[in-house]
Amino acid sequence: MTSKIKKAVFPVAGLGTRFLPATKAVPKEMLTIVDRPVIQLAVDEAREAGIEHFIFVTGRNKAVIEDHFDKQFELEETLKRRNKDIELEILQSDLPGAGQTSFTRQQEPLGLGHAVWCARDLVGNEPFALLLPDMFIHGSPGCLAQMKNVYDARGGNVIAVEEVPQDQVHKYGVVGVGADAGEGFEITSMVEKPKHEDAPSNLIISGRYILQPEIFALLDKQTAGAGGEIQLTDSMLKLMDEQDFYGLKFTGTTYDCGDKVGFLAANVALGLSRTDISPQFTQVLKQIIARNGGLD
Ligand code: UTP
């Protein structure tokens, strides 16, 4: 019998240097894909998977994320007065319930592992989901809902993975592949940013995790690794000595919205999939492509 996953952690304390100057005053997680902030899309995915409590690890300049997940009383009253029922319904249905959000500060961006460690008291002694919001995963059912199926069947720790060309593995955390395990597979090893000849596979860690709380004690002692940052992968590798890890090749498309091209691609993909704007947007895209000399 596995414990239910009720809490999700969203690390949003990174500096977003790849997106300057946009991220000088606006957190990259508040940049929008069509009309939804990147962080809202990650929360949507978590809610679909049954998450009940949303923990944000924030940093300087990120207060607007807290405001985004708060009730905007005056705005709602104005929408009511103007009979803007659809807009009001969107605002109200997006909002987590009272007491369902927590915020903590990372203080210094010392790496993803350190950001996760900052959530230890809010998570407590229970398994939790971890979503890196700038990795937007487009698909239905959502990636975390697919991972939950593996977790419910197997327990342990579950990591979403996807294939990349072998010459790209050096940019990511890479897993070693063991025996099949239902919808997933057993993970045999993990390495952060390997040389392509040392990589155990071309399956990379894609920004979605289900982790057991024992990870916190390991993060507590973790020293800086690749890039001088406290790496989550290094602590997960240690946890693998004691607990099972499963990988899931999920269905869906990942867009790295912390990267300019990934962010633009996510806007195009979501724009084309939205029935309210797709016909008009398709026309505009065709015109832009034609004006720029076609697709070759
Ligand atoms: P990134 O690797 O994208 O780093 O972080 P970054 O600093 O946000 O962006 P760039 O590379 O400077 O453009 C992956 C995720 O981990 C979080 C980020 O907010 C993002 O969700 N993170 C990273 C933290 O919360 N704290 C950190 O110290 C580092």
If you write DSSP's letter for every residue of 1-27 in order, what string do you get? Answer: -PPP--EEEEE-----GGGTTTTTTS-
Q: What's the Rg (C-alpha) of the chain?
A: 20
Q: How many CB atoms lie within 10 A of CB 79?
A: 19
Tens-place pLDDT, residues 152-176: 999 999 999 999 999 999 989 999 9
pLDDT value at residue 225: 78
pLDDT mean over 202-214: 96
Distance 13 CA to ligand 1 centre (A): 6
CB-ligand 1 contact for 43 (6 Å cutoff)? no
Ligand 1 atom nearest to CA at 256: 3
Mean pLDDT over the full length of the chain:
93
CB-ligand 1 contact for 11 (6 Å cutoff)? yes
Nearest protein Cα to ligand 1, atom 1: 14
| 294 Cβ neighbours under 8 A, 6+ residues apart | none
CA 122 to chain centre: 18
pLDDT value at residue 1: 65
Q: What is the pTM of this model?
A: 0.94
CB-ligand 1 contact for 17 (6 Å cutoff)? yes
Ligand 1 atom nearest to CA at 13: 25
| Phi, psi angles (nearest 5°) of residue 34 | 55, -100
DSSP 8-state code for residue 228: G
CB-ligand 1 contact for 112 (6 Å cutoff)? yes
> Among 103, 130, 131, 132, which is best to mutate for testing ligand 1, by the most ligand atoms less than 8 A from CB?
132
Nearest protein Cα to ligand 1, atom 15: 132
Distance 280 CA to ligand 1 centre (A): 35
CA 158 to chain centre: 14
> Residue 11: is the preceding peptide bond cis (ω within 30°)?
no
Nearest protein Cα to ligand 1, atom 9: 16
Cα separation, 284 vs 242, in Å, equals 54
pLDDT value at residue 117: 97
Q: Interior CA angle at 255 toward 252 and 259, to 5°?
A: 170
If you write DSSP's letter for every residue of 71-115 in order, what string do you get? Answer: --HHHHHHHHHTT-HHHHHHHHHHSPPTT-EEEEE-SS---HHHH
110: region left, alpha or beta (phi > 0 left; psi from -120 to 50 alpha): alpha
Cα separation, 76 vs 152, in Å, equals 39
Tens-place pLDDT, residues 6-36: 999 999 998 888 999 988 888 999 999 999 9
SS3 at position 53: strand
Tens-place pLDDT, residues 4-13: 899 999 999 9
Distance 173 CA to ligand 1 centre (A): 14
- In the block, tokens 């973790």 appear at 222
pLDDT score of 112 more than 80: yes
The dihedral over CA atoms of 230, 103, 209, 232, expressed in degrees to the nearest 10, equals: 10
